[in-house]
Every structure is written in C-alpha cells, then in structure tokens.
Structure 1
Amino acid sequence: MVHPRETETMPRQKDLKRLVRARMQKTGEAYTAARAQVLRKPRTPTRQEGTPAPATITHPEPKEYAAIAGMSDDVVKEKTGCTWELWVKALDHSRAYELSHREIAKLVKEKWDTPSWWTQMVTVGYERIKGLRTRGQQRNGSYTMSRSRTFSVGVETLYDLWADGRRRKRWLDEAGVKVRTATAPKSLRLQMPDGAIVAVGFSSKGRDKSTVALEQARLPDRETAEALKQRWSGRLDALSDAVER
C-alpha cells in the first residue's frame, strides 16, 4: 500500500535569513540555534479557496474497511469486482487521498469504468476509510442522509410506487411532494414540502425483487441527518406495507 509521504516545505534562502533574524530578535538566540528552530518548524501553505480543508490521513486495518465504509466487502465485490482492500490499494497508489471528492470519483469512473451509483459509493467509502470524512459527512463539512431497502417486487412496480402520485400517497401522504426529474425505472428526484431534494435510485435484483436507495444532501449537522434517517426508515416501513397489500 502506498502511504502519503510526509513532506516538509523548506523556505527559500532569502526567506530563511529573514525568518532567522526575526526569531533572533524575539528570543535572543544565536544565529545557529535560531536557524535550527526555523528549519524544524515547517510553514503551513496557504489553502486556495474551494479546495478541501487539510485532513489527517488514517490507515485502519483492512479488516475494518467495510465497517468504516458502511458497505460490506461481498456487496462491493459483487458490484465492482473488487473488495475494499483492493480499492484502497489501487486508490492509494494513485494518491487519491490528495484529491477532492469530484476528482476521486472521476478517477474511479474513468480508470475502472464503474457504474455511476457505485462510483459514488466507492469514492465515499474510500474517503471514510482514509479519514477524509466521517459517516454521513461531506468533504465540505455538510452532512448527507441515505437509506436503502429491498422489496419483493419488480423494479418497475417499485419505481411506480414513487413516481405515480396516487400510488405514492398510499405510503407517503404528504402534501406538496413533487417529482422534479425522472428516468424510468432507474432514478428520480423528489422535492419535499420544505423544498429539500431527495435523490432516489432503483436497481433490479431479479424478476420479483428490487432495491431503492435514497439520499438527501447539504444537511447542516449530524443530528439533522440522523433525524431524517429515522423519518425515512418509517416511510420505508409504510412503503413495505403498501407493497404487501
């Protein structure tokens, strides 16, 4: 596994002399002692606006990867052909820990040709494993809520229970819910009464089995994300009852 190299930015000679003299005036140290202290303490480079805040890269044991990523090795291998350990090795080798979320996702998609949904899952899982974000947190500091569930119906039927307004009311009876965009039977975006957007994806597991996965982003804190997670768990329970009727 390729780990980040610890680097130290050395000041240029002109800057070095200036910093040494400033320290000598402040501390009364001799030139040699002041110079040694200046070289020991690297300067922090200025972060450009829009780039991710510096993060402490973590190196957990491979057996911990699945739990940290929030997705089992079996599922990831089935959908992408690689376990988390292989993904981490490959992405570390490409120094993905130095990239933004968008850049990591682009790397995963272009180099390994993963499906769009799984490109995001691999990217987020890798970021969690490397300590670039916590569970539910985005690289910009906001939080995301996600839920998924598998039902004993075909994907077209499951999709219609979300896309068709009358069928949706059987389990999500809230005024003001609108479908913003839809690609049958793969995905849609719901606008909730408060204006929030929920992205919903559907996948077939066979003739009479399918999964729905939903996500709501740009949440202000973990508490809001957890509250919405519980709320959507209840809604999916109601959907399960509607499917069985």
Structure 2
Amino acid sequence: MRGATGCDREEWFTLLDEWGAAGRPYREIAAWLTGERHVSRWWAQKLIVEFEQDRGLRAPGARRDGTYAVTAGKTIAAPTDRLFASFVDTAVRERWLPGAVVAPRTADPGRSARFTWEGGPTRLSVGFSDKGGGKTTVHVEHERLPDAESAKDAKAYWRERLAVLKAVLEN
C-alpha cells in the first residue's frame, strides 16, 4: 500500500480521522483522496471501505447505507447478444431463471442491463464482456440486500443460476 499511495494503512486512517472522514459521505471522501491526496480511484475505494469497517461505520460486506451487495460472474461459450437476450427476453430467461419476477429499468444492448428484482427494493445490474472466440463473461451484481444472511443466500443463488445459464447456452 505504501508503494502505491505513499502511506501505510494506519497512516491513512490517521489522516482520514484528522480530516473528519467518519462524518462525510463516500463521494466527498473519494474526491478528497483522489484530488487532494492523489490516490487512484481503486486505492481510494479500498481505503474508504477499510476505514469505514475499522471505525464501525460499515459492516464487512455492507455499503455505508447498511445494505449489502453481492456479485457473481461466469464466462460462457456464447456470443454477447445471445447472453444479453438470456436476461432481457422473458421466454429465454424463463429457461434458466424460472419464476423470477424482474422489471427492466435500463439496457444498453450487448453491454449492460438493470432490473428491479422481485418487485423491489433489491436490484440487479448485469454487465457483459465479449472475450472473443464466441465467449462472453457475464457479471451480475445484486444490490440493496437487507442483511448479511440475504447476501450470503443471494451469492449462492447467483452462482447456481449462472451455472444453469451456462449449461443451457452451451448445450
């Protein structure tokens, strides 16, 4: 960390305490770290999350607002447009995600899609990355989960569902 940012973890935490980061919103802290302290966005995010967890402002795995988010990903031997359709086309989605109630919010064909999950308040963000050779990586983020147990369950659910999606599209 010192090599990349100029300080070790404890030095950063001291600086963040002195600056009053515990009482400031995430974006303001990130702007200070990247602007005033010349830290990359990646290191700023890492520092903020670790600082907030250390100071009891955020539980491990939680966002600052107290909700949780989980991610799952899978590389599948299918073109991006076919994988995208597996999420946005109800009939295709039913083959690997039966009974799921999703409401589309936004979509950028072949790149990303966002949905409200099961009537809310949780949401899905899905991204697609063409890997070439007819392969695509899909990345699912399930956001606004209420607690750590829900996050654990959602993580297992999405791993299992993406494995089913892979089997459906590759067979």
* Structure 2 counterpart of 1:234: 160
Q: Which one scores higher on RCO, CA 8 angstroms, separation ≥ 6?
A: 2
Please give the root-mean-square deviation of Cα atoms over the aligned residues, in Å. Answer: 3.4
**What is the CA distance between 1:124 and its match in structure 2?**
4.5
After superposition, residues 194-205 of structure 1 pair within 5 angstroms as 194-195=119-120, 196-205=122-131
Aligned-residue sequence identity (percent) comes to: 30
**Aligned pair partner of 1:177 in 102, 107, 114:** 102
Say whether 1:126 aligns with 2:51: no
Change (3 A) 1:180 1:109: farther
Say whether 1:155 aligns with 2:80: yes
Query: 2: distance between equivalents of 1:209 and 1:184?
Result: 16
| Residue identity in the other structure for 1:86 | A
Query: 2: distance between equivalents of 1:107 and 1:203?
Result: 31
Q: Conserved in 1, the CA contact under 8 Å of 2:78 and 2:170? A: no
* Structure 1 counterpart of 2:149: 223
- SS, match of residue 217 in structure 1: strand
**Per-residue CA shift, 1:173-214, capped at 9, x if unaligned?**
115323221111111112222423211122222242222222
Query: 1: distance between equivalents of 2:124 and 2:155?
Result: 12
Change (3 A) 1:197 1:87: farther
* Structure 2 counterpart of 1:21: none
**Per-residue CA shift, 1:203-245, capped at 9, x if unaligned?**
2222422222222222221111111111112211111111212
**What is the CA distance between 1:154 and its match in structure 2?**
2.8
Q: Conserved in 2, the CA contact under 8 Å of 1:101 and 1:123? A: no
**Aligned pair partner of 2:66 in 126, 129, 141:** 141
Query: 2: distance between equivalents of 1:172 and 1:88?
Result: 47
Number of equivalent positions: 155
Q: Conserved in 1, the CA contact under 8 Å of 2:123 and 2:144? A: no
User: Normalized per residue, which structure has more strand?
Assistant: 2
Q: Conserved in 2, the CA contact under 8 Å of 1:88 and 1:126? A: no
**What is the CA distance between 1:134 and its match in structure 2?**
4.4
**Per-residue CA shift, 1:68-106, capped at 9, x if unaligned?**
xxxxxxxxxxxxxxxx962685995xx667353223555
* Structure 2 counterpart of 1:35: none
Change (3 A) 1:234 1:89: same
After superposition, residues 3-22 of structure 1 pair within 5 angstroms as none
Question: TM-score, normalised to structure 1's length?
Answer: 0.51
Query: 1: distance between equivalents of 2:33 and 2:169?
Result: 36
- SS, match of residue 153 in structure 2: helix
**What is the CA distance between 1:168 and its match in structure 2?**
1.2
**Aligned pair partner of 1:188 in 105, 108, 113:** 113
* Structure 1: 5+ residue stretches without partners: 1-61, 63-83
Query: 1: distance between equivalents of 2:128 and 2:29?
Result: 24
**Per-residue CA shift, 1:122-154, capped at 9, x if unaligned?**
654333444534442111222222222222223
Q: Conserved in 2, the CA contact under 8 Å of 1:203 and 1:210? A: yes
